[in-house]
Amino acid sequence: MPWDYAPPLADMRFVIERVLAAPASWARCAPFAELDLETVDAVLQEAGRFAAGVLLPINAGGDAMGCVRDAAGHVRTPPGFREAYRAFVDGGWPALPCSPDWGGQGLPLLVDAATREMFVACNHGWVMYPDLLHGAYETIKAHASDDLKARYLQDVATGRTLAAMALTEPQAGSDLGLLRTRAEPQPDGSLRVHGSKIFISGGEHDLTEQIVHLVLCRLPDAPPGSKGISLALVPRRLPDGTRNAMHCDGLEHKMGIHGSATCQMRYEGATGWLVGEPHRGLAAMFLMMNSARLHVGLQGLGHQEVATQNALRYASERAQGRALAGGGGPGAGAGPDAIAHHPAVRHTLLRLQALVEGQRVIAYRAALALDEAAHHADAGARAQAAALAALMTPVVKAFCTHQGFHGASAALQVWGGYGYVREYGVEQSLRDARIAMIYEGTNEIQAIDLLQRKVLADGGAALRAWLVEARAEARRCADAGLADFAAALEAECDAAAHATAAVAATAGADREAPLRVADDYLMGLSHTMLAWAWAASARAALGVPDRRWAEAKTARMRYGLQWLLPQAAVHWQRVSAAGSVLPHL
Ligand SMILES: Cc1cc2nc3c(=O)[nH]c(=O)nc-3n(C[C@H](O)[C@H](O)[C@H](O)COP(=O)(O)OP(=O)(O)OC[C@H]3O[C@@H](n4cnc5c(N)ncnc54)[C@H](O)[C@@H]3O)c2cc1C
């Protein structure tokens, strides 16, 4: 049975229209005021066709062949990648959420998020090339000089130029304060950049003629640590068409995403230009962090969706044993039942479905918050949306990617031994999904970001604002007759508030306390957000005319409530015990 993908358009539409009521938000955002759901449907349908029809067929081949670097340092992507990229640019996909002022289509990040979920589900390795475009676009648009914008921004927005983010060095991973790449100012205002970077996705390839590298570096008068980091734009081709002094010294041989060229880069006096203020490079890059981290979270979501779909199909066809000893189970015949009937496998499949659908609501809510933060007519609403996006981003990045890998692993289990061998595709998904827990800030760093910067630093204000939204949903559920959802969501909100108060109380006297429990805090809050997503989905399903679809949806959401939500208590209990000392190794 070949690895396959059916774009989950019905669920996407359900989340966008009914759960999040996005059109009401768009009406208050000037650039989207005219947007209607029919247009959104048409965009998503076309994106789904591109994902399943163009990206999926080159996914396994890209994994098997990988990228090739020749002696001169040129990198060739796997067969079909160039053609797919050309079709992607011709279709206008890179420019979807960019401003029409720069050649973009001006659609919401929420719509873009749904397209990205589909693209990555079908080919994570390929998606790595265009995935950095939007972050580069935002960074250049907000911080580069008019001259740099005129030269590069439209090409980045439309995908004619690809981008690379060059942060990591051998001694500087999570701690970018340790980086050593130097930039020397020149009399003509340019910089000469010297240094080595590792793990640079799309640092070199054959998809576009131009690649702009956004390189973190130090100016000669830089203070040590993260306060002395600047950002330079370093193009592969200089304005006169000659090649810049930058080389790909090697490609990483890695566990997954083989189609993505992960490059070791050397800058040997490469010409670049400062983006933003001197020594304020990290601040300039942070602008793109929310959307880049959202994109990585969507990678986890995409992997879960495609793994779940294929596991469901396989489980309905693979027959082994009887679901009830002695027969009498759901399988009518005398022979073995499809494994989908076995309660153990049913648990796995229901868990996968409830989690992927819940995470879709959470990830899309974060995308909607980013749109509102940028475009809402009311300044107060913009500020509130920005705080919500900041709060949700580490949850989306870390929880969805955690589940992306563990969900693919659970799905693999459904195939038994056939999952462990290559031909069915799920082992590629498992390998590809793993990196998303590491890059764009490891999940441990996300957890610390969530607890320290997004929750404790503002005295819990952003969290309280979100809990108000969640409790309002609980009341709507109660009014709609969904008493179990209402009670569970209320209880979850209480648990989150109590655990937050407990860790805040401990943090004053014991600065290590939040660091000890940050991972559990992120998992706990992810479950609170899932409780909200399941409740909001069950309530929204009441208005769906297709009652069979709606009842099946509600049953999956209730499964999440009954079988998955109890896990939250374990995490909150650990968070509340933040004062417990962790032994030294
Ligand atoms: C396939 C791939 C693609 C990549 N693409 C890019 C790219 O395009 N551009 C780029 O610049 N980089 C890229 N990276 C690098 C990636 O962002 C880093 O690997 C990541 O930031 C982690 O850094 P590190 O590997 O040095 O691990 P380390 O920072 O050494 O971390 C090792 C472990 O320690 C933990 N840890 C570290 N510090 C802390 C802390 N303060 N608190 C708690 N735990 C901590 C981490 O969570 C991790 O578990 C890529 C990496 C890979 C493998």
Cβ 168 under 6 angstroms from ligand 1:
yes
Which residue has tokens 């655990």? 499
Domain-ending residue, one of 262, 279, 296: 279
Q: Are residues 20 and 133 in the same domain?
A: yes
Mutating to test ligand 1, I would choose from 214, 258, 438, 511 the residue with most ligand atoms within 8 A of its C-beta, which is: 438
Q: Are residues 63 and 188 in the same domain?
A: no
What is the pLDDT at residue 579? Answer: 84
Q: Which residues contact 300 (CB under 8 A, 6 or more apart)?
A: 359, 399, 400, 401, 402, 403, 404, 405, 407, 433, 436
- The closest-lying atom of ligand 1 relative to the alpha carbon of residue 132 is 8
In the chain, the number of structural domains is 3
Residue 110: inside a domain, yes or no? Answer: yes
Cβ 171 under 6 angstroms from ligand 1:
no
The full DSSP string for 435-498 is GGGTSSS-HHHHHHIIIIIIIITTTTHHHHHHHHHHHHHHHHHHHTT-HHHHHHHHHHHHHHHH
Give the angle 91-92-96 at the CA atoms, nearest 5°.
135
Q: Which residues contact 453 (CB under 8 A, 6 or more apart)?
A: none
Distance 34 CA to ligand 1 centre (A): 42
Phi, psi of 384 (to 5 degrees): -65, -40
Cβ 198 under 6 angstroms from ligand 1:
no
Q: Rounded to an integer, what distance in angstroms lies between the CA atom of residue 288 and that of residue 71?
A: 34
Q: Are residues 68 and 181 in the same domain?
A: no
Cβ 165 under 6 angstroms from ligand 1:
yes
User: Which residue has a Cα nearest atom 52 of ligand 1?
Assistant: 199
User: Which residue has a Cα nearest atom 38 of ligand 1?
Assistant: 174
User: Which residue has a Cα nearest atom 12 of ligand 1?
Assistant: 168
Mutating to test ligand 1, I would choose from 75, 432, 442, 519 the residue with most ligand atoms within 8 A of its C-beta, which is: 442
Cβ 438 under 6 angstroms from ligand 1:
yes
Contact predicate 169/226, CB 8 Å: no
Structure tokens at 515: 């660091």
pTM of this structure: 0.97
Closest CA relative to residue 249, chosen from 233, 264, 270: 264
Residue 205: inside a domain, yes or no? Answer: yes
Which residue has tokens 């439209």? 154
Domain-ending residue, one of 86, 116, 140: 140
The full 3-state SS of 1-69, as one line of letters, equals CCCCCCCCHHHHHHHHHHHCCHHHHHCCEHHHCCCCHHHHHHHHHHHHHHHHHHHHHHHHHHHHHCCEE
The full 3-state SS of 321-379, as one line of letters, equals CCCCCCCCCCCCCCCCCEHHHCHHHHHHHHHHHHHHHHHHHHHHHHHHHHHHHHHECCH
Q: Are residues 537 and 578 in the same domain?
A: yes
- CATH code for the domain in which residue 216 is found: 2.40.110.20
Distance 187 CA to ligand 1 centre (A): 36
Reported as half-sphere exposure (CB side, CA atoms, 13 A), residue 505 has a value of: 10
- CATH code for the domain in which residue 26 is found: 1.10.540.10
Cβ 444 under 6 angstroms from ligand 1:
yes
b/e burial code for range 220-251 (CB count within 10 A of at least 16 → b): eebeeeeebbbbbbbbbeeeeeeebbbbbeeb
Q: Are residues 519 and 575 in the same domain?
A: yes
Residue 25: inside a domain, yes or no? Answer: yes
| Given 117, 169, 440, 490, the catalytic residue | 440
Residue 496: inside a domain, yes or no? Answer: yes
Distance 420 CA to ligand 1 centre (A): 27
Cβ 262 under 6 angstroms from ligand 1:
yes
What is the residue range of 450's domain? 443-585
Mutating to test ligand 1, I would choose from 63, 132, 165, 168 the residue with most ligand atoms within 8 A of its C-beta, which is: 168
Residue 242: inside a domain, yes or no? Answer: yes
pLDDT tens for the 585 residues of the chain, in order: 789 999 999 999 999 999 999 999 999 999 999 999 999 999 999 999 999 999 999 999 999 999 999 999 999 999 999 999 999 999 999 989 999 999 999 999 999 999 999 999 999 999 999 999 999 999 999 999 999 999 999 999 999 999 999 999 999 999 999 999 999 999 999 999 999 999 999 999 999 999 999 999 999 999 999 999 999 999 999 999 999 999 999 999 999 999 999 999 999 999 999 999 999 999 888 767 777 899 999 999 999 999 999 999 999 999 999 888 666 556 556 789 999 999 999 999 999 999 999 999 999 999 999 999 999 999 999 999 999 999 999 999 999 999 999 999 999 999 999 999 988 899 999 999 999 999 999 999 999 999 999 999 999 999 999 999 999 999 999 999 999 999 999 999 999 999 999 999 999 899 999 999 999 999 999 999 999 999 999 999 999 999 999 999 999 999 999 999 999 999 999 999 988 888 889
Distance 438 CA to ligand 1 centre (A): 6
- The closest-lying atom of ligand 1 relative to the alpha carbon of residue 203 is 8
Residue 232: inside a domain, yes or no? Answer: yes
Contact predicate 203/261, CB 8 Å: yes
Contact predicate 97/113, CB 8 Å: no
Structure tokens at 486: 């209402």
Taking residue 547's Cβ as centre, other Cβ atoms within 10 Å add up to: 10
Cβ 435 under 6 angstroms from ligand 1:
yes
Q: Are residues 461 and 479 in the same domain?
A: yes
Residue 261: inside a domain, yes or no? Answer: yes
Structure tokens at 285: 């890059």
Could you report the per-residue pLDDT of 88-133, keeping only the tens digit for each?
Answer: 999 999 989 999 999 999 999 999 999 999 999 999 999 999 999 9
Q: Are residues 179 and 251 in the same domain?
A: yes
Q: Are residues 45 and 119 in the same domain?
A: yes
Residue 268: inside a domain, yes or no? Answer: yes
Mutating to test ligand 1, I would choose from 129, 171, 174, 402 the residue with most ligand atoms within 8 A of its C-beta, which is: 174
b/e burial code for range 80-110 (CB count within 10 A of at least 16 → b): bbeebbeebbebbbbbbbbeeebbbbbbbbb
Cβ 201 under 6 angstroms from ligand 1:
yes
Taking residue 583's Cβ as centre, other Cβ atoms within 10 Å add up to: 4
Q: Are residues 447 and 584 in the same domain?
A: yes
Question: Is residue 440 flagged as an active site residue?
Answer: yes
Collapsed DSSP state (helix, strand, coil) of residue 152? helix
Contact predicate 195/169, CB 8 Å: yes
The full DSSP string for 242-298 is PBPSEEEEEE---SS-TTS-EEEEEEEEEEEEE-SSTTBHHHHHHHHHHHHHHHHHH
Reported as half-sphere exposure (CB side, CA atoms, 13 A), residue 493 has a value of: 22
Distance 102 CA to ligand 1 centre (A): 33
User: Which residue has a Cα nearest atom 23 of ligand 1?
Assistant: 173
Q: Are residues 133 and 153 in the same domain?
A: no
User: Which residue has a Cα nearest atom 31 of ligand 1?
Assistant: 174
Distance 173 CA to ligand 1 centre (A): 5
What is the pLDDT at residue 63? Answer: 98
Distance 169 CA to ligand 1 centre (A): 10
State how far the alpha carbon of 79 is from the alpha carbons of 42, 371, 507, in Å. 29, 36, 53
Q: Are residues 470 and 558 in the same domain?
A: yes
Cβ 445 under 6 angstroms from ligand 1:
yes
User: Which residue has a Cα nearest atom 51 of ligand 1?
Assistant: 199
Cβ 442 under 6 angstroms from ligand 1:
yes
- The closest-lying atom of ligand 1 relative to the alpha carbon of residue 440 is 17
Q: Are residues 148 and 136 in the same domain?
A: no
Domain-ending residue, one of 140, 175, 199: 140
Q: Rounded to an integer, what distance in angstroms lies between the CA atom of residue 509 and that of residue 512?
A: 9
